[in-house]
Every structure is written in structure tokens, then in C-alpha cells.
Amino acid sequence: MALSQRKLILGAEFHQSGDHEGGWRMPSAQPWRGTDLSYYQSLSRLAERGKMDFVFFADFLAYTPRIRQSIRWELEPLTLLAGVAAVTERIGLVATGSTLYTEPYNLARSFATLDHLSGGRAAWNIVTTGETATAGDFGHAQVVPHDQRYAHAHEYTALIRELWDSWDDAALAPDRDHGRYADPARVRPLDYDSGRHRVAGALNLPRPPQGHPVLVQAGSSEDGRNFAAAHAEMVFTAQPSLDYGQAFYQDMQRRVALAGRRPGSLKVVPGLLTVIGSTDEEAQRLRNQLDDLLVPSVYANLLGSFGIDLSRFDLDDPVPENLGSVAGFEGIKSRLAIIEHLVRHWGDKPTIRQLIRRLAGSRGHFAVTGTPGKIAASMQTWFEQGAADGFIIKYSHLPGGIREFVDEVVPLLQRAGIYRNDYEGTTLREHLGLARPDRVQARERQVA
């Protein structure tokens, strides 16, 4: 697609009070509304007013003691998005689902249901889940090794797609005059048994309106990139700088081609943390306010989840030379690699406190603190210089952050001609320029 025809993809990621660890302590925050459906409905309607492609909800499956000083829990996203679907009309609905801790039949049925109820707006954010606490909660003695999680995810994802394809589009054709409701000959039981998964029958509801809900993948390790090239239609990635983003974008296009897929079939959408002010100085004051609300010990403990143990150091000590080993780490490898990249390219060696403040909002994602014009210009640069097809916006604090973005940044992107003025389709696939997949009779099953 020519550059003049491309339109920026925009998603809105909602955590309860925003993405910055100190956001819940802002005077305008509403941290008590974390279980209030109307709160998420109102945020989603704001995003839809901004003609955004989708809202995105991450998921964390395990309890963590860090709730003492930080919001560290999430509502189950599929249930939540069913409530959002009821009060929105066009915006896509992206929910995270684990390949490791959910049975394929249940997950396929749940996402197909959301796609039907929303008229074709659902997407599955595929994660392999590498947290130690989650493993224990689901009966695993230890974290499943990284490579094994992705080998499992290849089979799991192919199986999900077979379940969505188990009904032909024309299987459901009610004919009251002749007393025929559906054609069983157009429904294919899977009879699937790999030893790891067993699924006897077909899905118990018709094929989703989109054929398949859009497949999103979050993760940028070597295994994650190969998985995205094989399966994903959109990849959510953390890229801290333009050159880093360009290298990732080029690498993914190369891998997609090697996988035999057409150009443009995989959309690259980095995360972007926004801190908006009427002037750069005002925005920086807001970022400083957020950082000052951070309890440093919380994020120092969080670094431990990336295999980084800084507990024996003072917060004002320089970051040590060797943070950890990506090769031997079984958690989120790509995020550890980004943290190491940030430290290497910092300039003067940062202190542990400085690193914590840098990660407190963006967690390694691209971040812009400044005026709406500065933020829009940065987004346009990434879009036009081969680093992104769009962004998943991560707001420093909510609900204010989304209002400012929709009212002040979106109009600038529209005037630049890189963002839609209105929705042209009704499904998420139409928003993203993705083809509706044909139903296949049999699919190669990848079993490891």
C-alpha cells in the first residue's frame, strides 16, 4: 500500500489508573473504580470518539504482594469486553488469553462468542505466560521453559483456528418453511489428539463474523518473532527508540516473507507512553510529579521478575554492569533485553533510581513527554520512517490521559492525513486492512 494510502493504527491500552506506577496517586485518578464496569465503558467510548481501532486489555493471572503500594491486578478481560461491546459500536476489542493456562476449546468458544456479540470486533492477544507465581497457581512446579512455551503455542494457535473453522460459513441457514435449521454436513468435528491436547468435536457455535478474531501477539524474543511471523496479524512490541523500532520492523517483514505470507499481513504496533502538557515544560512537570509519587522499592522488586536483583545496592548507586542473562532467563526475554539496551545507551551511567523512574511508566516502551504537537510529530516520524504501522497508546494516568490524547493529539494526526476522520468499516479486520480468512478444510498441525 502506498504511503499516502496507509493510515495509522491506534489502540488504547487501559490499566485501572494508567500505566505509570504512580498514576493511581494522582489527584484526578479514580483507583476505587477498578471493578466498576461503567468506568471502562466510559474510557472505551472516549477511545471510540477518537476513532481508535481498538481498546486493549492485558491480563495478569496471579496475585502479587506488590498490591501494598501498586495496582497489580486486572479484571478478566473477556467478561469485561462483553460489557464494553454493549455500549460501543465500531471500536475493536482486544483481550489477552494464555496458551498455557486455558483449554483450547474454552478459549476458542469465548473469543468466538465475543466476536458474535460485537458484530466482528474481537481480537485475541496471544501470550505464553512466563511468570513464576502463575505457574504455581495452575499446578506447575516451575515455569515452563521459554522454548517449550512457544512450541506449545504453535500447536495451540493452529488448533484454535481449526475450531473457529469447524463450521462452514453457510452451515447455519434457518429455513422455517422446510424445518431445516442448520446443515450438519457443513460442520467438521476435529477428532484431534496430539497427546498434549484432545478435542473430539466441532465448536458448538457458528463460525465467527470475522472468520477468525484478529490474532495479536505480544512478545519480541527470537521465539516470539518467529511465532508472530507464522501466526500473528498484529504484533504488540516494546521498542524504546526509533532505530530500535526500525530494526524490529524490518526484521519482522523479513520473517513474514520467509514464512510465505504476503506483505502487510502483519501489522507492527509498538507501545507508546504519553505524558501531555500544553508546553514541554508543563508536561515535564507532570512527569516529574508522577515519578515523585512512585515508591521506588515497588519497582525495584519488579525488576526481580526480569531476573535483575538489585536488592543489595542503594538506589543512588550506579546500575551494575551485568544486569542478568537473557539466554538463561525463562521469563519475558525481550523486556530484559530492552532494559539492558536502555542502560547501554544511556550516556552517563544511570543510577538505579534513574532507571526505575525511566521504567516506572513505559516499562521499556517508547515514551514521549511534551505537547500534543511533539507527540503527534514523533508518531508521524515512526510511521513514515519504517518503525511502526501504528501504536498502542499507554496513558500515564487515567481518565485524564485519554481525554487529552483524543481531544488534542488525534486532530493533529488527522490534519497530517495519516489518521482516519471516521470509521469506514464495522469490523476490526476492516479497520486494520486485514482480509477475512477463508475456511480451510484441514490445516497442518504443528506438534512439538
Mean pLDDT for the stretch of residues 246-260: 96
HEC assignment per residue over 138-205: CCCCCCCCHHHHHHHHHHHHHHHHHHHCCECCCCEEEECCCCEEECHHHECCCCEECCCCEECCCCCC
Mean pLDDT of the chain: 88
User: What is the per-residue pLDDT for 4?
Assistant: 47
**Percentage of the chain surpassing pLDDT 70?**
88
Instruction: Pick the more confident residue, 396 or 381.
Output: 381
Position 362 pLDDT exceeds 90? no
Pairing of strands 198-199, 234-237: unpaired
pLDDT in tens, 324-356: 544 444 445 566 777 777 777 676 788 877 887
d(CA 361, CA 290): 9
Indicate if the pLDDT at residue 3 is higher than 90: no
Q: What is the pLDDT of residues 26-68, one digit of tens each?
A: 998 898 999 999 999 999 999 999 999 999 998 888 777 667 6
Res 328: pLDDT: 47
Residue with the larger pLDDT of the pair 281 and 440: 281
In this predicted structure, the answer to whether residue 117 has a pLDDT above a threshold of 90 is: yes
Q: What is the pLDDT of residues 388-435, one digit of tens each?
A: 999 999 998 899 899 999 999 999 999 999 999 999 999 999 999 999
What's the confidence (pLDDT) of residue 442?
A: 54
* Angstrom distance (rounded) from CA 291 to CA 358: 9
Which amino acid is located at 338 in the chain?
I
Q: Is residue 201 scored above 50 in pLDDT?
A: yes
Lowest average pLDDT, out of 191-200, 245-254, 332-341, goes to 332-341
Q: Tens digits of per-residue pLDDT, 282-307? A: 999 999 999 888 877 666 665 665 56
Question: If you average pLDDT over residues 253-272, what whole number do you get?
Answer: 95
Higher-pLDDT residue of 135 and 300 is: 135
Nearest in space to 210 (alpha carbons), one of 433, 48, 443, 435: 435
213, 124 contact by CB (below 8 A): yes
Q: Which residue has the higher pLDDT, 203 or 240?
A: 203
Residue 130 has pLDDT above 90, yes or no: no
The reported pLDDT for the residue numbered 327 is 44
Indicate the range of 176-180, 231-235, 285-289, 444-448 predicted with least confidence.
444-448
The pTM is what?
0.89
Q: Is a pLDDT exceeding 50 seen at residue 210? A: yes
Interhelix angle for 77-85 vs 104-118, to 10°?
Answer: 10
Average pLDDT on 248-263 reads 95
Please compute the mean of the pLDDT values over residues 374-391 and round it to a whole number. 98
Average of pLDDT values for 4-18? Answer: 88
Backbone angles phi and psi of 270, in degrees to 5: -65, 160
pLDDT value of residue 93: 98
Name which residue leads in pLDDT, 247 or 321.
247
* Higher per-residue pLDDT: 304 or 208: 208
214-236 average pLDDT score: 93
Q: Is the pLDDT of residue 124 over 50?
A: yes
Nearest to 106 by CA among 197, 7, 228: 197
| Cα angle, residue 172 at apex, residues 170 and 173 outer, rounded to 5° | 85
